[in-house]
């Protein structure tokens, strides 16, 4: 009997001890994700804002004598260029720093445009219901059925690539999450008695949507905004990589990856550096968004 009992006791002892230990570091990471993500994001934003102070070279200045100068960890590096130079002899560190401006700038402005469009449409659909809802739901479904990259490619190809076109086209394409969340949130709220009470105190429809409903959707929409931003930054790089985003002399991480493609076998760091930065930024934004979601307790359905 004792021989039978001991293994069971041992197993239970192990399982009770092991249970809290395993997810400990995961839990730690989750709690800190908002700090880690937010910290990286803040650092990158500061670097992007202070770009002229931090970089000692003009990112578009060519110097054909100093082409393919190697970064500091390789042998034969030029101490004047910490991260080396590209195929036109432009300082790679300066280009990376200025590239952060493009990525973050486009990320912020596209999300702003998309949030504005999506939230207004979602509020209108949820609040008025009926025919308005039918029309806007149709718009949302139409938008969801369009492949973003393909449409953006077509639009940019037609209009010609420029920063404004890129922001407008992407802004017009990524509002769907905002619209869906704003609509379902409004639907849940609009029959609450405080909305009727607001109507009875003489509040207009616009006032009810903006002052009574929108504050209740705020935290969810902020979470959506961060997650969409990561998406947009990747899209910008993809389009720039394909040559339909940012125009060449302007430094963009996606464009830098495209320009480094020819020398991928010999100078892989030309691609690894902007690629790594892109990874880091998208990871940071995602961590920040996830952390915010855990913090505010809003569940985002994707």
Give me the least distance between CB of 209 and other proteins, in Å please: 13
Give me the least distance between CB of 190 and other proteins, in Å please: 12
Does 199 bind other proteins (CB under 8 A)? Our answer is yes
> Which residues neighbour 71 within 8 Å (Cβ) at sequence distance 6 or greater?
77, 81, 82, 83, 84, 92, 269, 273
> How far, in Å, CA of 290 to CA of 280, rounded?
15
Residue 70 phi/psi, 5-degree rounding, is -90, 150
Let me know if 110 is exposed, middle or buried by CB neighbors in 10 A (0-12, 13-18, 19+): buried
Does 202 bind other proteins (CB under 8 A)? Our answer is yes
Report CA torsion sign: 105, 178, 231, 281.
Answer: positive
Residue 258 phi/psi, 5-degree rounding, is -60, -40
Give me the least distance between CB of 127 and other proteins, in Å please: 14
**Residue nearer to other proteins on the CB measure, 80 or 188:** 188
Does 194 bind other proteins (CB under 8 A)? Our answer is yes
**Upper half-sphere CA count for residue 140 (Cβ side, 13 Å):** 26
Does 192 bind other proteins (CB under 8 A)? Our answer is yes
**Site mask, other proteins, residues 78-107, x = CB under 8 A?**
------------------------------
Out of 3, 24, 201, 299, point to the residue binding other proteins (CB under 8 A). Answer: 201
Residues 209-228 contacting other proteins, CB under 8 A: 211-212, 215-216, 218
> How far, in Å, CA of 234 to CA of 292, rounded?
21
Give me the least distance between CB of 296 and other proteins, in Å please: 13
Give me the least distance between CB of 133 and other proteins, in Å please: 14
Identify which range of 32-40, 54-62, 78-86, 204-212 contacts other proteins by CB under 8 A.
204-212
Give me the least distance between CB of 84 and other proteins, in Å please: 53
Instruction: Find where tokens 């691609």 sit.
Output: 271
Does 296 bind other proteins (CB under 8 A)? Our answer is no
Report CA torsion sign: 12, 17, 20, 21.
Answer: negative
> Which residues neighbour 162 within 8 Å (Cβ) at sequence distance 6 or greater?
247
**Residue nearer to other proteins on the CB measure, 17 or 193:** 193
Residues lying near other proteins in the complex (CB under 8 A): 192-194, 196-204, 207, 211-212, 215-216, 218
């Amino acid at each position: 009997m004792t021989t039978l009992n001991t293994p069971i006791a041992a197993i239970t002892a192990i399982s009770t001890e092991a249970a809290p230990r395993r997810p400990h570091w995961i839990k730690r990471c989750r709690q800190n994700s908002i700090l880690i993500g937010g910290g990286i994001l803040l650092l990158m934003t500061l670097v992007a804002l202070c770009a002229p102070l931090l970089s000692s070279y003009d990112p578009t200045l060519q110097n054909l004598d100093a082409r393919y100068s190697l970064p500091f960890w390789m042998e034969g590096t030029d101490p004047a260029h910490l991260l080396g130079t590209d195929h036109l002899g432009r300082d790679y560190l300066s280009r990376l720093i200025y590239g952060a401006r493009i990525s973050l700038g486009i990320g912020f402005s596209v999300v702003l445009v998309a949030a504005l469009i999506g939230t207004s449409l979602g509020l209108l659909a949820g609040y008025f219901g009926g025919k308005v809802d039918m029309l806007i739901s149709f718009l949302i479904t139409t938008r969801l059925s369009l492949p973003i990259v393909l449409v953006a490619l077509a639009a940019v190809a037609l209009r010609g690539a420029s920063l404004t076109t890129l922001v407008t086209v992407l802004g017009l394409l990524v509002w769907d999450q905002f619209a869906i969340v704003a609509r379902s949130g409004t639907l849940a709220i609009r029959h609450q008695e405080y909305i009727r009470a607001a109507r009875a105190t003489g509040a207009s429809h616009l006032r009810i949507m903006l002052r009574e409903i929108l504050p209740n959707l705020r935290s969810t929409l902020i979470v959506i905004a961060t997650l969409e931003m990561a998406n947009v930054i990747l899209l910008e790089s993809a389009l720039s990589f394909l040559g339909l985003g940012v125009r060449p002399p302007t430094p963009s991480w996606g464009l830098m990856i495209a320009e480094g493609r020819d020398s991928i076998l010999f100078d892989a760091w030309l691609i690894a550096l902007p690629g790594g930065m892109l990874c880091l930024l998208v990871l940071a934004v995602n961590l920040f968004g996830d952390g915010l979601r855990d913090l505010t307790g809003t569940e985002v359905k994707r």
